[in-house]
Amino acid sequence: MEILDGKALSDKIKTDLKTQSETLKKKGVVPALAVILVGDDPASQTYVNTKEKACNAVGITSIMHRVCSSTSEEEVLKIIDSLNKNPEVDGILVQLPLPKHIDTSKVIEAISPDKDVDGFHPFNVGRLVAGMDGFVPCTPFGVMKLLEAYGINVRGMDACVIGASNIVGKPMMNLLLNASATVEVCRSSTKNLKEHTLRADLIVVGVGKINLLTSDMVKEGAIVVDVGINRNEEGKIVGDVDFANVAPKCSYITPVPGGVGPMTIAMLLTNTIKSASRRQK
């Protein structure tokens, strides 16, 4: 069993991105990421602070827009419009979830596809489905980079994705399909989930349910990627996989924390530098 160390790989990627950022600055382009945070949700604040620190570490200017939870949808759309029109902004990220009075789909569609570094705009979703170049959602993008770094070629593998969200499950499915894997998409509510996972050479799980994937659901030598982020009763961060019991059966497995999480941030920075490079050209 080998650990897929997302922390170590993300540090290497960030070192490379810092060099790219410095090169862009010498050519007159300062990479910039704008983040909009609506409200004071503690988890969202933590994520935004982490992203801000990561930007600073690689030389990306971080432009913060923190507004109160009662801010209207119209005001949020106005902020996005101004950032779309600002030629010195390369990426726009709206921290999710948004308050209930704001239409998330409308907000995502308001972001210019050229600055959609989260990869959520329908334009970029369509390009991903078609196997064309575009911005890819950061978490599944990070999973693919992590597998690639360890020399894991998914071509011909039976892959099982547990979770069908627009942020992880669906783009994960498309990335694996584009890489010539055979993909099955399940949910935590799938009937006889174990029957599906036992067939899989690769399992990617991200539904937010502690110990959803147990050792009896995984065949010997499988690769397990845990995208889940949960807090257990002791307040410890854990994933969706019963790591202690599943890991001994795996050829590769990601830890939580230190697996997919750091890669998500690294891919956000990667997408921002990609956008800045387009601006320079």
pTM score of the predicted model? 0.95
Task: State mean pLDDT over 92-98.
Answer: 95
For tokens 């090169």, name the residue: 23
Helices (H), 59-199: 73-85, 104-110, 122-129, 138-149, 169-178, 193-197
98 & 158 share domain: no
81 & 157 share domain: no
246 & 173 share domain: yes
- How many domains is the chain built from? 2
68 & 162 share domain: no
pLDDT band at 40 (very low <50, low <70, confident <90, very high): confident
98 & 151 share domain: no
Residue 240 covered by a domain = yes
Residue 129 covered by a domain = no
Tell me the per-residue pLDDT of 169-192, one tens digit each, with 9 for 90 and over. Answer: 999 999 999 999 999 999 988 999
Q: Considering the chain, what is the average pLDDT of its residues?
A: 96
72 & 161 share domain: no
- The long-range contacts involving 179-186, CB below 8 angstroms and separated by at least 24 positions, are 179/144, 179/154, 179/155, 180/154, 180/155, 180/156, 181/154, 181/155, 181/156, 181/157, 182/156, 182/157, 182/158, 183/159, 184/158, 184/159, 184/160, 185/160, 185/161, 186/160, 186/161, 186/162
Tell me the per-residue pLDDT of 66-75, one tens digit each, with 9 for 90 and over. Answer: 999 999 999 9
Residue 60 covered by a domain = yes
Domain range enclosing 147: 138-261
Tell me the per-residue pLDDT of 247-258, one tens digit each, with 9 for 90 and over. Answer: 999 999 999 999
Give the CATH number for residue 54. Answer: 3.40.50.10860
Residue 93 covered by a domain = yes
Nearest to 240 by CA among 176, 181, 187: 187
Residue 223 pairs with which residues in a beta bridge?
A: 202, 252
Residue 20 covered by a domain = no
Give dist(CA 94, CA 103) in Å, integer.
Answer: 12
Q: Which active-site residues does the annotation give?
A: 51, 95, 118
pLDDT band at 37 (very low <50, low <70, confident <90, very high): very high
Give the CATH number for residue 212. Answer: 3.40.50.720
55 & 88 share domain: yes
Tell me the per-residue pLDDT of 203-262, one tens digit each, with 9 for 90 and over. Answer: 999 999 999 999 999 999 999 999 999 988 888 999 999 999 999 999 999 999 999 999
| pLDDT in the model for residue 214 | 97
108 & 217 share domain: no
166 & 237 share domain: yes
172 & 254 share domain: yes
Nearest to 205 by CA among 180, 175, 225: 225
Residue 18 covered by a domain = no
148 & 225 share domain: yes
Residue 22 covered by a domain = no
Residue 109 covered by a domain = yes
Task: Quote the distance between the C-alpha of residue 240 and its chain's center.
Answer: 16
91 & 163 share domain: no
